[in-house]
Amino acid sequence: MGVTILHQFPMLENRTGPQTIEFLTKRIVALGAVQMGQFLVDCDSYISMPSLGPQRTVHVLHNSEQPASVFSILETNTKTIPLVADGLFDLLMLKMTPIYTKKVAKIESKGPRFELADFCIKLGSVTISQNFKGVLVEVEYRPCVVPSNCVGLMREFLQGFLGSCVQSLPACLQNKMDEVYQPMDTIQQYLDHFLNFRKMAGYSG
Amino acid sequence: MENLYAALTSVKVLRCSVGQIFNSLANGIRADHGEEGRDTKFLSEIEELLNAVTHHLRDVEQAVNNLSQPPGPLTLGNTNFLSQECTQERQALYSQLVLSYKWTDKIHEYSNHAAALLSQNSLKRSYMNPGSAKRRRTQTSSHNVSPQAVDTVISAIDRQFNDMTMSISRPFATNAVLQVSLGRVLQAVIAFKGLMIEWVVVKGYGEAFDLWTDSRHKVFRKITENSHAAMLHFYSPTLPELAVRSFMTWFHSYITLFSEPCKKCGSHLHCALPPTWRDLRTLEPFHEECKL
């Protein structure tokens, strides 16, 4: 697992989602990347019953890069608790329906996955219940595990094919620059972007 | 052999003269036979030619008589089978022969170049080196070092660098295998023979320490290659300790592998790789393509 940066690619007025993906695919293939399959990251959110005290939200995410794991992030008013579990966690959530009533529509990002030398690039189109919302570009540099080491390198690579829209690093990476990067950090970045998309679409949660 | 050549030449001469007869017969009476008695002239010319043919035929018979029976059947190898296929087009021999000729030519040229280069650089590091007696003695000294001496040298180097941790294991009798972790950037396994560095494998942080498999990342495979070049560059039979120390100092400069841009082009990436080469003297980072 190498350092990963997730970046939202701004949509132009006259371009649809598939057109944007195709446009980025052309650029990345011109750099010499090879398509290696597809990827999918999805997120379900469950909200606790109001009668059980202060509201809590559980986000359950799956990443096709770690197919045997289920990631969950529990949000309370004061803190967020991340948890990595195996596939059985999904079944456990089904049993929890009396406490956590599912309320929010599923949001997912999926699309082609490319490899270029040691980089892994994923062009995901984000959909909330089949409605297209935007484009998320994920770039992973697999040899490097400490974000502070490869910030400059990643920025150069991102600017190389996304253009000058790449400015700063994701907020959730800023305070763990010197720690070893974990798959959970990728999930956290996806969740941050997903919540933004939901907010824009007017969903609560 | 002489006889055979003589026989072949006489056959050739005979064929020539027969060809001549048919030629003049086909032409018939020509202008240079003149007006008078041209028939007799023509006949006498034919007769002359026929005489030549009989003469040459006699030559051939004589030459054939001189030939001796070859001892035993001729062994022609695979070319025997050529007689099975009689149309030349279907054998496609010519193009293949040209191709193989070109290959041999190329191999010859390349091996010449390689031999010239290798004779200039003395990279031979094994006991097989047929050098002078003196040279051989100094070489033995870098191979036969007591394990304690190796340990002291390595622990001295270990103390020199804070962010590089080393551990020694001896899976192969007395020869040390050194595992190096360079910060959280990379790891390496270095196999020693006495105090001589024999093999280096560079891997990523978190990959398995083992001497036989390559890293799964392209960057580290490239650095493995470059480390081999450096290990040969720093090798010195007379000062083995210095060789190891300089190699380690050079290797330590990879701590900035991902963070320092190339000195020449000023950017981090070239062909999607960071600067994987470190200058042997100044330790400055360069891309593979920028170092020249």
DSSP three-state, residue B150: helix
Q: What is the pLDDT of residues A150-203, one digit of tens each?
A: 888 888 888 888 877 666 777 777 778 888 888 888 888 898 888 888 888 775
Name the residue in chain A with its Cα closest to that of B215: A143
A157: contact with B, CB 8 A cutoff: yes
B265: contact with A, CB 8 A cutoff: no
Looking at residue A112, what is its pLDDT? Answer: 92
Q: How far apart, in whole angstroms, are the C-alpha atoms of residue A16 and residue B158?
A: 58
Looking at residue A204, what is its pLDDT? Answer: 47
Judging contacts by C-beta atoms under 8 Å, the chain A residues touching residue B258 are 141, 143-144, 149-150, 153
Mean pLDDT confidence for A17-38: 88
Looking at residue B183, what is its pLDDT? Answer: 85
What are the tokens at B73?
């059947």
Judging contacts by C-beta atoms under 8 Å, the chain B residues touching residue A157 are 268-269, 272
**Cα-to-chain-centroid distance, residue A185:** 9
Q: How far apart, in whole angstroms, are the C-alpha atoms of residue B227 and residue B276?
A: 10
B217: contact with A, CB 8 A cutoff: yes
Mean pLDDT confidence for A42-51: 84
Q: How far apart, in whole angstroms, are the C-alpha atoms of residue B258 and residue B276?
A: 9
Looking at residue B126, what is its pLDDT? Answer: 54
A150: contact with B, CB 8 A cutoff: yes
**Which of B185, B204, B217 comes nearest A149 by C-beta?**
B185
Instruction: Give me the count of residues in chain B.
Output: 292
Looking at residue B124, what is its pLDDT? Answer: 59
Please give the sequence-ordered ranges of beta strands (E in DSSP) within chain A, or none if there are none.
Answer: 3-9, 34-48, 57-63, 69-75, 80-86, 100-102, 107-116, 119-128, 131-141
Contact A142 B217 (CB under 8 A): yes
Judging contacts by C-beta atoms under 8 Å, the chain A residues touching residue B205 are 145, 180
List all residues 6 or more positions away from B25 whose beta carbon is below 8 Å from its beta carbon: B46
Looking at residue B141, what is its pLDDT? Answer: 59
Q: Which of residues 175-194 of B touch A (CB under 8 A)?
A: 184-186
Q: What is the pLDDT of residues A75-86, one digit of tens each?
A: 887 888 888 999
**Closest to B259 (Cα-Cα) out of B274, B280, B281, B243:** B274
A179: contact with B, CB 8 A cutoff: no
Distance from CA of B189 to the nearest CA of A (A): 17
- For residue A190, give the DSSP letter: H
Looking at residue A167, what is its pLDDT? Answer: 66
Contact B267 A156 (CB under 8 A): yes
Run of H or E including A182: none
Q: Which of residues 218-237 of B touch A (CB under 8 A)?
A: 218-220
Looking at residue B86, what is its pLDDT? Answer: 65
Q: How does DSSP assign B50-118, residue by residue?
A: HHHHHHHHHHHHHHHHHPPPPSSPPP-GGGGGGGG---HHHHTHHHHHHHHHHHHHHHHHHHHHHHHHH
Q: How far apart, in whole angstroms, are the C-alpha atoms of residue B81 and residue B148?
A: 68
Q: Please report, in tens digits, the pLDDT of each residue of chain B (292 residues total).
A: 788 888 899 999 999 999 999 988 888 877 777 777 788 888 888 899 999 999 999 999 988 888 877 776 667 777 767 666 667 667 777 888 899 999 999 999 999 999 988 887 666 565 444 444 444 444 455 667 788 888 888 888 888 888 888 888 888 778 888 899 988 888 999 988 888 888 899 998 888 888 888 888 999 999 999 999 888 888 877 788 888 889 999 999 998 888 888 888 888 888 888 888 988 888 888 888 888 7
Looking at residue B111, what is its pLDDT? Answer: 95
Distance from CA of B186 to the nearest CA of A (A): 8
